Amino acid sequence: MKKITLTISVLCLSLFVFAQDLTTKKGVSILPTTGDWAIGFDGSPLFNYFGNAFNNSAGNSFSVNFLDSHQTIYGKYFTDDNTAYRAQIRIGFGGDTDVNEVSDLSAGAAVDAVVENKITDSERNIILGGGIEKRKGNTRLQGVYGGEGMIGFGGSSTSYTYGNDMTDQGVGSRNIKSKNGSTFMLGARAFIGAEYFICPKVSVAVEYGWALVFESTGYGTTTVEQYDGTVVEEVETSGGSKSSSFGVDTDNTQGSIRLMLHF
Protein backbone atom coordinates (compact mmCIF):
# COMPACT_ATOMS: atom_id res chain seq x y z
CA MET A 1 0.00 0.00 0.00
CA LYS A 2 2.87 2.35 0.89
CA LYS A 3 4.53 1.57 -2.44
CA ILE A 4 1.34 2.42 -4.33
CA THR A 5 0.95 5.68 -2.41
CA LEU A 6 4.58 6.60 -3.03
CA THR A 7 4.27 5.81 -6.74
CA ILE A 8 1.16 7.97 -7.10
CA SER A 9 2.85 10.81 -5.20
CA VAL A 10 5.93 10.68 -7.41
CA LEU A 11 3.75 10.62 -10.55
CA CYS A 12 1.72 13.61 -9.41
CA LEU A 13 4.88 15.51 -8.50
CA SER A 14 6.39 14.73 -11.91
CA LEU A 15 3.28 15.98 -13.69
CA PHE A 16 3.30 19.12 -11.55
CA VAL A 17 6.93 19.86 -12.35
CA PHE A 18 6.30 19.14 -16.04
CA ALA A 19 3.33 21.50 -15.98
CA GLN A 20 5.46 24.34 -14.56
CA ASP A 21 8.25 24.00 -17.14
CA LEU A 22 7.29 26.79 -19.53
CA THR A 23 10.26 26.56 -21.90
CA THR A 24 11.79 23.74 -23.92
CA LYS A 25 15.40 22.60 -23.57
CA LYS A 26 16.18 24.91 -26.50
CA GLY A 27 14.65 27.85 -24.67
CA VAL A 28 11.46 28.06 -26.76
CA SER A 29 8.47 29.40 -24.86
CA ILE A 30 5.62 26.92 -24.49
CA LEU A 31 3.07 29.68 -23.98
CA PRO A 32 2.22 32.32 -26.60
CA THR A 33 4.16 35.57 -26.38
CA THR A 34 3.82 39.12 -27.70
CA GLY A 35 3.55 39.16 -31.50
CA ASP A 36 2.42 35.54 -31.87
CA TRP A 37 -0.38 34.56 -34.23
CA ALA A 38 -2.77 31.64 -33.73
CA ILE A 39 -5.33 29.74 -35.76
CA GLY A 40 -8.09 27.56 -34.32
CA PHE A 41 -9.91 24.40 -35.36
CA ASP A 42 -12.68 22.25 -33.95
CA GLY A 43 -10.87 19.77 -31.71
CA SER A 44 -13.69 17.20 -31.52
CA PRO A 45 -12.62 15.13 -34.59
CA LEU A 46 -9.12 14.73 -33.14
CA PHE A 47 -10.43 13.42 -29.83
CA ASN A 48 -12.86 11.12 -31.62
CA TYR A 49 -10.02 9.76 -33.74
CA PHE A 50 -7.79 8.87 -30.79
CA GLY A 51 -10.76 7.63 -28.77
CA ASN A 52 -11.72 5.22 -31.54
CA ALA A 53 -8.09 4.15 -31.90
CA PHE A 54 -7.95 3.08 -28.25
CA ASN A 55 -11.23 1.23 -28.73
CA ASN A 56 -9.76 -0.66 -31.72
CA SER A 57 -12.46 0.78 -33.97
CA ALA A 58 -11.99 0.32 -37.70
CA GLY A 59 -12.10 3.06 -40.29
CA ASN A 60 -10.90 5.87 -38.05
CA SER A 61 -10.60 9.21 -39.82
CA PHE A 62 -9.60 12.71 -38.83
CA SER A 63 -10.66 15.95 -40.49
CA VAL A 64 -9.88 19.57 -39.67
CA ASN A 65 -13.26 21.22 -39.13
CA PHE A 66 -14.33 24.83 -38.71
CA LEU A 67 -15.06 25.95 -35.16
CA ASP A 68 -18.68 26.83 -35.92
CA SER A 69 -21.47 26.28 -38.41
CA HIS A 70 -20.74 29.66 -40.01
CA GLN A 71 -17.53 28.17 -41.49
CA THR A 72 -15.47 31.19 -40.52
CA ILE A 73 -11.68 31.22 -40.35
CA TYR A 74 -10.70 31.88 -36.74
CA GLY A 75 -7.47 33.45 -35.53
CA LYS A 76 -5.73 35.51 -32.85
CA TYR A 77 -2.95 38.06 -32.57
CA PHE A 78 -1.18 38.55 -29.21
CA THR A 79 -0.54 42.20 -28.36
CA ASP A 80 1.18 41.09 -25.17
CA ASP A 81 1.64 37.84 -23.27
CA ASN A 82 -1.81 38.08 -21.67
CA THR A 83 -3.89 39.88 -24.31
CA ALA A 84 -4.96 38.85 -27.80
CA TYR A 85 -7.19 40.24 -30.51
CA ARG A 86 -9.54 37.64 -31.96
CA ALA A 87 -10.91 37.66 -35.51
CA GLN A 88 -13.34 35.63 -37.61
CA ILE A 89 -13.77 35.97 -41.34
CA ARG A 90 -15.70 34.36 -44.15
CA ILE A 91 -15.97 36.01 -47.57
CA GLY A 92 -17.63 33.62 -49.97
CA PHE A 93 -19.07 34.05 -53.43
CA GLY A 94 -20.11 31.20 -55.70
CA GLY A 95 -22.25 30.11 -58.55
CA ASP A 96 -22.92 27.51 -61.21
CA THR A 97 -24.54 27.50 -64.64
CA ASP A 98 -26.61 24.80 -66.33
CA VAL A 99 -26.95 24.93 -70.12
CA ASN A 100 -29.71 23.21 -72.10
CA GLU A 101 -30.19 23.07 -75.85
CA VAL A 102 -33.66 23.87 -77.21
CA SER A 103 -35.05 24.28 -80.72
CA ASP A 104 -34.38 27.56 -82.50
CA LEU A 105 -37.79 29.24 -82.95
CA SER A 106 -36.62 32.23 -84.96
CA ALA A 107 -37.98 32.81 -88.46
CA GLY A 108 -35.93 31.09 -91.16
CA ALA A 109 -34.08 28.79 -88.73
CA ALA A 110 -33.22 25.28 -89.96
CA VAL A 111 -35.43 22.46 -88.71
CA ASP A 112 -32.63 20.98 -86.60
CA ALA A 113 -31.17 24.31 -85.40
CA VAL A 114 -30.77 24.73 -81.66
CA VAL A 115 -30.07 27.55 -79.21
CA GLU A 116 -29.01 27.53 -75.57
CA ASN A 117 -31.00 28.30 -72.44
CA LYS A 118 -28.93 29.00 -69.33
CA ILE A 119 -29.79 28.87 -65.63
CA THR A 120 -27.25 30.54 -63.32
CA ASP A 121 -27.33 30.16 -59.54
CA SER A 122 -25.26 32.47 -57.36
CA GLU A 123 -24.78 32.97 -53.66
CA ARG A 124 -22.81 35.07 -51.22
CA ASN A 125 -21.84 34.67 -47.56
CA ILE A 126 -19.94 37.38 -45.73
CA ILE A 127 -19.22 37.12 -42.00
CA LEU A 128 -16.83 39.32 -40.05
CA GLY A 129 -16.11 39.22 -36.35
CA GLY A 130 -13.64 40.55 -33.82
CA GLY A 131 -13.01 40.85 -30.13
CA ILE A 132 -10.46 40.88 -27.36
CA GLU A 133 -9.25 38.06 -25.13
CA LYS A 134 -7.54 38.32 -21.75
CA ARG A 135 -5.56 35.50 -20.17
CA LYS A 136 -4.80 34.57 -16.58
CA GLY A 137 -2.36 31.99 -15.25
CA ASN A 138 1.37 31.28 -14.98
CA THR A 139 1.38 27.59 -15.92
CA ARG A 140 0.49 25.50 -18.94
CA LEU A 141 -3.14 25.83 -17.82
CA GLN A 142 -4.45 29.28 -18.76
CA GLY A 143 -7.80 30.89 -18.06
CA VAL A 144 -9.31 32.99 -20.88
CA TYR A 145 -12.14 35.53 -20.91
CA GLY A 146 -13.31 38.46 -22.98
CA GLY A 147 -15.87 39.61 -25.52
CA GLU A 148 -16.44 39.61 -29.27
CA GLY A 149 -18.96 40.69 -31.90
CA MET A 150 -19.98 39.36 -35.30
CA ILE A 151 -21.86 40.65 -38.32
CA GLY A 152 -22.97 38.69 -41.37
CA PHE A 153 -24.70 39.06 -44.72
CA GLY A 154 -25.99 36.40 -47.09
CA GLY A 155 -28.19 35.83 -50.08
CA SER A 156 -28.76 33.83 -53.26
CA SER A 157 -30.40 34.26 -56.64
CA THR A 158 -31.17 32.43 -59.88
CA SER A 159 -30.96 34.07 -63.32
CA TYR A 160 -32.40 32.75 -66.59
CA THR A 161 -31.03 33.47 -70.07
CA TYR A 162 -32.92 32.30 -73.14
CA GLY A 163 -31.73 31.59 -76.65
CA ASN A 164 -35.09 32.48 -78.22
CA ASP A 165 -36.57 35.94 -78.15
CA MET A 166 -39.83 36.32 -76.27
CA THR A 167 -41.60 37.35 -79.48
CA ASP A 168 -40.53 34.09 -81.14
CA GLN A 169 -41.63 32.01 -78.16
CA GLY A 170 -45.16 33.41 -78.27
CA VAL A 171 -47.66 35.03 -75.94
CA GLY A 172 -47.03 34.31 -72.26
CA SER A 173 -44.39 34.90 -69.58
CA ARG A 174 -41.10 33.43 -68.38
CA ASN A 175 -38.84 33.95 -65.41
CA ILE A 176 -35.84 36.25 -65.77
CA LYS A 177 -34.55 36.29 -62.20
CA SER A 178 -35.53 34.93 -58.80
CA LYS A 179 -33.85 36.46 -55.78
CA ASN A 180 -34.16 35.08 -52.28
CA GLY A 181 -34.44 37.54 -49.45
CA SER A 182 -31.15 38.86 -48.12
CA THR A 183 -30.11 37.70 -44.67
CA PHE A 184 -28.56 39.95 -42.03
CA MET A 185 -27.05 38.66 -38.79
CA LEU A 186 -25.65 40.54 -35.79
CA GLY A 187 -24.23 38.98 -32.64
CA ALA A 188 -22.38 39.90 -29.44
CA ARG A 189 -20.82 37.44 -27.02
CA ALA A 190 -19.02 37.33 -23.69
CA PHE A 191 -16.91 34.20 -23.17
CA ILE A 192 -14.88 32.35 -20.56
CA GLY A 193 -12.85 29.18 -20.77
CA ALA A 194 -9.59 27.38 -20.14
CA GLU A 195 -6.66 26.46 -22.36
CA TYR A 196 -3.96 23.86 -21.72
CA PHE A 197 -0.69 23.78 -23.68
CA ILE A 198 0.05 20.15 -24.42
CA CYS A 199 3.33 21.05 -26.17
CA PRO A 200 5.08 24.25 -27.30
CA LYS A 201 2.60 26.62 -28.95
CA VAL A 202 -0.05 23.89 -29.28
CA SER A 203 -3.05 23.93 -26.96
CA VAL A 204 -6.47 22.48 -26.35
CA ALA A 205 -9.10 24.94 -25.18
CA VAL A 206 -12.64 24.63 -23.84
CA GLU A 207 -14.82 27.71 -24.12
CA TYR A 208 -18.38 28.76 -23.37
CA GLY A 209 -20.14 32.06 -23.43
CA TRP A 210 -23.29 34.14 -23.20
CA ALA A 211 -24.48 35.56 -26.48
CA LEU A 212 -27.03 37.87 -28.01
CA VAL A 213 -27.93 37.14 -31.64
CA PHE A 214 -30.30 38.87 -34.07
CA GLU A 215 -31.01 37.51 -37.55
CA SER A 216 -33.36 38.76 -40.24
CA THR A 217 -34.30 37.57 -43.75
CA GLY A 218 -36.29 39.83 -46.06
CA TYR A 219 -38.79 39.17 -48.82
CA GLY A 220 -37.56 37.70 -52.08
CA THR A 221 -38.27 39.10 -55.54
CA THR A 222 -39.13 37.54 -58.89
CA THR A 223 -38.68 39.22 -62.28
CA VAL A 224 -40.64 37.87 -65.24
CA GLU A 225 -40.69 38.76 -68.93
CA GLN A 226 -44.19 39.08 -70.37
CA TYR A 227 -45.46 39.26 -73.96
CA ASP A 228 -49.06 40.04 -74.81
CA GLY A 229 -48.64 39.74 -78.56
CA THR A 230 -47.70 43.40 -78.93
CA VAL A 231 -45.35 44.53 -76.15
CA VAL A 232 -42.59 42.74 -74.26
CA GLU A 233 -42.06 44.00 -70.72
CA GLU A 234 -40.32 42.95 -67.50
CA VAL A 235 -42.30 42.92 -64.27
CA GLU A 236 -40.80 42.54 -60.80
CA THR A 237 -42.83 41.27 -57.87
CA SER A 238 -41.99 40.56 -54.24
CA GLY A 239 -43.32 37.67 -52.32
CA GLY A 240 -42.64 34.59 -50.27
CA SER A 241 -42.10 35.29 -46.61
CA LYS A 242 -39.72 37.19 -44.38
CA SER A 243 -38.50 36.19 -40.96
CA SER A 244 -36.51 37.42 -38.01
CA SER A 245 -35.22 35.89 -34.82
CA PHE A 246 -33.69 37.14 -31.60
CA GLY A 247 -32.06 35.24 -28.80
CA VAL A 248 -30.09 35.80 -25.62
CA ASP A 249 -28.78 32.55 -24.23
CA THR A 250 -25.75 30.58 -23.15
CA ASP A 251 -23.63 30.09 -26.24
CA ASN A 252 -26.11 31.07 -28.91
CA THR A 253 -23.17 31.31 -31.32
CA GLN A 254 -20.56 28.76 -30.35
CA GLY A 255 -19.33 26.62 -27.49
CA SER A 256 -16.48 24.38 -28.45
CA ILE A 257 -13.41 22.28 -27.83
CA ARG A 258 -10.65 24.03 -29.76
CA LEU A 259 -7.28 22.95 -31.05
CA MET A 260 -5.07 26.06 -31.21
CA LEU A 261 -1.80 26.40 -33.12
CA HIS A 262 0.47 29.36 -32.30
CA PHE A 263 3.39 30.61 -34.36
CB–CB of 234/211 below 8 Å?
no
Q: Residue 39's pLDDT is what?
A: 93
pTM comes to 0.76
Q: Residue 76's pLDDT is what?
A: 96
Q: Residue 153's pLDDT is what?
A: 96
Q: b vs e for 209-239, b when ≥16 Cβ sit within 10 Å of the residue's Cβ?
A: bbbbbebebbebbbebbebeeeeeeeeeeee
- In this prediction, the residues of the chain whose per-residue pLDDT falls under 70 are 1-21, 43-66, 69, 252-256
Q: Residue 27's pLDDT is what?
A: 85
Q: Hey, where are the domains in the chain?
A: 26-262
Phi, psi dihedrals of residue 67, rounded to the nearest 5°: -70, -25
Q: What is the identity of the amino acid at 228?
A: D
Q: Residue 120's pLDDT is what?
A: 98
Q: Kindly report, residue by residue over 164-208, the tens digit of the pLDDT.
A: 999 998 889 999 999 999 999 999 999 999 999 999 999 999 888
- CA distances, 8 to each of 101, 180, 194 (Å): 77, 63, 26
Query: Any bridge partners for residue 148, and if so which?
Result: 131, 189
Q: Residue 134's pLDDT is what?
A: 97
